[in-house]
C-alpha cells in the first residue's frame, strides 16, 4: 500500500517500474534461449543493458539535487567513481594467487611497483559486506563534508557548480598518481569473480543486470519517497525561493546537505554496479567532462521528474553506443546537436513530451 502511494500519481514512474519488472523477467529468459533463436539476447547485450541501467541510476541521483534542489552539480562523477573504486578494490582482493605475479595478497600493480604490503585503506576489502558498507559510506562521507563546508558558507549558483567540478578534477589528478595505491593511470582491472562467481560466466552477467535493475527501481522509490515527503516540499521551496524559505525558518543548509549526501550515496551504488559489468575502473571516470555529460542526460530526459533522467540516460547512452560504433567521428557533434534540439523544441525534455501527450488525453 505504501509503495502504491508513492507512485499512484506518477504515471511515468509506474511505466518505468513496470518496464524494469518486465526486463528482470524477460531478459534472463531470452538470454537463455539457444543462440540461433530469433529472440535470443546475447550475453554481451545483457552486460551492455546492465551498464545502461547503472548510468540511469547515476542520472537519477543528479536529478534529485538539480531538479528538486536547484543545485547544478558538476561533480557527481566523483561519487560514482569512488563507489566504483571501492568495488574494484574488493574485486582485486578476490584475484589472489591467480594474478600475473601470483602474490596471494598484493594486486599485480603493487607487486610491479615493489610494494611490500597492502595500504591500510585496503584492509577488510576482501569481505563483500565491508566493501558494500564503504560503497555507500565513502561517497556519502565526502559529500557530507563537502556539503557542510559549502552550504554553511552559503555558496550557491555557478560558484557551487565550479567548486564541485574542481572537486572531481582534484580527485582525478590524485588517483592518477601511482603512490596513491589505486593503480595509477591504468586503474584497477583484470577482475576474476564476485562472491565466488566468475565475472565471465553468463549467469553472473545476468545476475548483475538484475541487480542493476533492482537498484534502479529502489533508487527511484527512495528518491520518490523523499520528494513526496515534507523534506521534498521544502526542497522545491528552496529551489524556487531560497531566501523566502530561509526567512520562514527552515534550515536551508541542512536540507541541501542531507539530500546532497543521499544523492552521492545513490551515485556510489551506481558506480559499484558499473565496474564489474565493464571490467575496469580508472581515473578517467573522475573526468569533469563525464559529470557534464551526466547533466546533459538529465536535461535531455527532463529535470525534476526522476523518470525523465532515467529516459535521458538510456537514450543518450544508446545513441553513444550506436554512433561510436557506426560513425565514431560524429558522436560529439551528434551529442551537441541532440542537446541543442531538445533545448529548442523540448525545453522540458523527453518527460515534457510525455506529459504533453498525457495532458491531451
Crossing angle of helices 43-69 and 230-240, rounded to 10°: 70
DSSP annotation of 70 reads -
DSSP states of 99-152: SSS--SSS-HHHHHTT--S--GGGTTTTSHHHHHHHHHHHHHHHHHHHHHHHHH
Q: Into how many domains does the chain fold?
A: 1
pLDDT score of 306: 95
d(CA 339, CA 159): 23
Q: What angle do CA 131, 134, 135 make, to 5 degrees?
A: 85
**Residue recorded with cell 582491472:** 189
Q: Check residue 333 and give its pLDDT.
A: 85
Per-residue pLDDT of the chain (361 residues; tens, 9 = 90+): 567 778 888 889 999 999 999 999 999 999 999 999 999 999 999 999 999 999 999 999 999 999 999 999 999 999 999 999 999 999 999 998 898 888 888 999 999 999 999 999 999 999 999 999 999 999 999 999 999 999 999 998 899 999 999 999 999 999 999 999 999 999 999 999 999 999 999 999 999 999 999 999 999 999 999 999 999 999 999 999 999 999 989 999 999 999 999 999 999 999 999 999 999 999 999 999 999 999 999 999 999 999 999 999 999 999 999 988 888 888 888 888 888 888 888 888 888 877 655 544 4
**Would 6 be classed as within a structural domain?**
no
Residue 298 lies in a domain: yes
In a domain, 240, yes or no: yes
Quote the pTM value: 0.95
Of the candidates 285, 263, 253, 323, the one whose C-alpha atom is nearest the C-alpha of residue 182 is 285
Residue 76 within any structural domain of the chain: yes
Contact between 124 and 130 (Cβ < 8 Å): yes
Q: Is residue 361 domain-resident?
A: no
Closest residue by Cα to residue 15 from 317, 289, 306, 302: 306
99 domain-assigned: yes
CATH number at residue 167: 1.10.3470
Within a domain: 281: yes
CB atoms within 10 A of CB 298: 30
- Burial class, 206, CB count within 10 angstroms (exposed 0-12 / middle 13-18 / buried 19+): buried
- pLDDT, position 361: 42
Q: Are 289 and 308 in contact (CB under 8 A)?
A: no
Establish if 9 belongs to a structural domain. Answer: no
Domain span at residue 325 reads 16-354
Amino acid at each position: 500500500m505504501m509503495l502504491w502511494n508513492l507512485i499512484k500519481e506518477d504515471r511515468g514512474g509506474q511505466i518505468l517500474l513496470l518496464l524494469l519488472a518486465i526486463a528482470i523477467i524477460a531478459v534472463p529468459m531470452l538470454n537463455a534461449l539457444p543462440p540461433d533463436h530469433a529472440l535470443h539476447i546475447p550475453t554481451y547485450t545483457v552486460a551492455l543493458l546492465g551498464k545502461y541501467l547503472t548510468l540511469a541510476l547515476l542520472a537519477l541521483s543528479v536529478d534529485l539535487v538539480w531538479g528538486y534542489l536547484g543545485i547544478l552539480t558538476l561533480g557527481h562523477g566523483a561519487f560514482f567513481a569512488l563507489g566504483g573504486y571501492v568495488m574494484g578494490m574488493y574485486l582485486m582482493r578476490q584475484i589472489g594467487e591467480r594474478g600475473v605475479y601470483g602474490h596471494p595478497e598484493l594486486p599485480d600493480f603493487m607487486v610491479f611497483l615493489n610494494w611490500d604490503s597492502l595500504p591500510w585503506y585496503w584492509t577488510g576489502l576482501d569481505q563483500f559486506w565491508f566493501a558494500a558498507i564503504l560503497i555507500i559510506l565513502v561517497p556519502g562521507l565526502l559529500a557530507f563534508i563537502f556539503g557542510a563546508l559549502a552550504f554553511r558558507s552559503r555558496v550557491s549558483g555557478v560558484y557551487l557548480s565550479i567548486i564541485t567540478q574542481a572537486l572531481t578534477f582534484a580527485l582525478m589528478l590524485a588517483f592518477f598518481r601511482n603512490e596513491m595505491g589505486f593503480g595509477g593511470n591504468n586503474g584497477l582491472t583484470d577482475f576474476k569473480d564476485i562472491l565466488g562467481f566468475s565475472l565471465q560466466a553468463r549467469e553472473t552477467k545476468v545476475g548483475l543486470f538484475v541487480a542493476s535493475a533492482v537498484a534502479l527501481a529502489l533508487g527511484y522509490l527512495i528518491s520518490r519517497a523523499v520528494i513526496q515527503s515534507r523534506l521534498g516540499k521544502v526542497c522545491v521551496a528552496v529551489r524556487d525561493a531560497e531566501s523566502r524559505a530561509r526567512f520562514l525558518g527552515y534550515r536551508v543548509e541542512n536540507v541541501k546537505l542531507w539530500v546532497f549526501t543521499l544523492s552521492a550515496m545513490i551515485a556510489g551504488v551506481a558506480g559499484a554496479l558499473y565496474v564489474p559489468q565493464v571490467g575496469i575502473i580508472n581515473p578517467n571516470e573522475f573526468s569533469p567532462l563525464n559529470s557534464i555529460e551526466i547533466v546533459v542526460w538529465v536535461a535531455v530526459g527532463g529535470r525534476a521528474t526522476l523518470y525523465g533522467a532515467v529516459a535521458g540516460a538510456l537514450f543518450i547512452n544508446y545513441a553513444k553506443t550506436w554512433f561510436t560504433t557506426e560513425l565514431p567521428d560524429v558522436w560529439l557533434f551528434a551529442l551537441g546537436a541532440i542537446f541543442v534540439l531538445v533545448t529548442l523544441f523540448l525545453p522540458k525534455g523527453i518527460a515534457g513530451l510525455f506529459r504533453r501527450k498525457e495532458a491531451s488525453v
